[in-house]
Chains A and B, each alone.
Chain A
Amino acid sequence: GAVVSQHPSWVICKSGTSVKIECRSLDFQATTMFWYRQFPKQSLMLMATSNEGSKATYEQGVEKDKFLINHASLTLSTLTVTSAHPEDSSFYICSVSGRGYEQYFGPGTRLTVT
């Protein structure tokens, strides 16, 4: 399977500031990456599908101007949470699509907005 890293693993920021989360595919050229968020004791919610070199496709209800996604290369996608608020505090996880329909996930980034 693919090895996926995320940075940072945990970030605390003040309300109103922006935070960037990086997702890297370390051993696999990922044409497609996915961004999820997960609230405590809940399942993963897909936020957007990120395709290298093109605009991300956002799920219904996800504000594209608030959650900026850039997939600049086959190994790197970034998620920027703009003007973060306490309700944006969550666990953000990226994944890469494998050769079939499976996905391989990163370790996640815990965002706390104070």
Chain B
Amino acid sequence: QKEVEQDPGPLSVPEGAIVSLNCTYSNSAFQYFMWYRQYSRKGPELLMYTYSSGNKEDGRFTAQVDKSSKYISLFIRDSQPSDSATYLCAMSGHSGGSNYKLTFGKGTLLTVNP
């Protein structure tokens, strides 16, 4: 079993739809959870950053973490064509000298159609 599982998609939605992106993980040591957006041939851009369980909202984006289920989600409201990108979940935890290493999901390719 991989440490982080993420459905690669592709996911195609109409403009204005609510998008739900998810990752599951197996390592209970993970405590820090991030979502990155990556446009084609660009570096990943940090969207959301949460610690432990709970919700965090930033504009049209909401990140949820459920540590009991080892499940994290990113919701995008009122999706726009400019949201079309690959979304990567990433997580980190206390692990001795590798505290700062991120473990990434494979990424979900999202297309928002006008």
* Residues of A that sit less than 8 Å from B by CB: 1, 4, 6, 32, 34, 42-44, 46, 49, 57, 91, 93, 95, 97, 100-108, 110
Contact = CB atoms under 8 A, between A and B. Distances in A.
B106 interface: yes
Given A43-B106, A43-B107, A104 B46 contact: yes
A93 B44 contact: yes
A100 B32 contact: yes
B100 A49 contact: yes
Interface in B28-59: 32, 34, 36, 41-46, 49, 51
Contacts of A4: 43
Contacts of A6: 43
Interface string B93-107: 000011111101111
A76 B39 CA distance: 25
Nearest to B42: A107
Contact of A43 (B46, B98, B104): B104
Interface residues of B, number: 24
Closest 10 CB pairs of A and B: A105-B43, A101-B32, A101-B92, A108-B43, A107-B43, A102-B49, A43-B106, A43-B104, A105-B44, A97-B100
B63 interface: no
Nearest to B8: A41
Nearest to A4: B43
Task: Identify the interface centre among B44, B90, B105, B106: most chain A CB within 10 Å of its CB.
Answer: B44
B65 interface: no
Contacts of B49: 100, 102
A82 B106 CA distance: 28
A108 B42 CA distance: 6
B104 A44 contact: yes
A88 B102 CA distance: 23
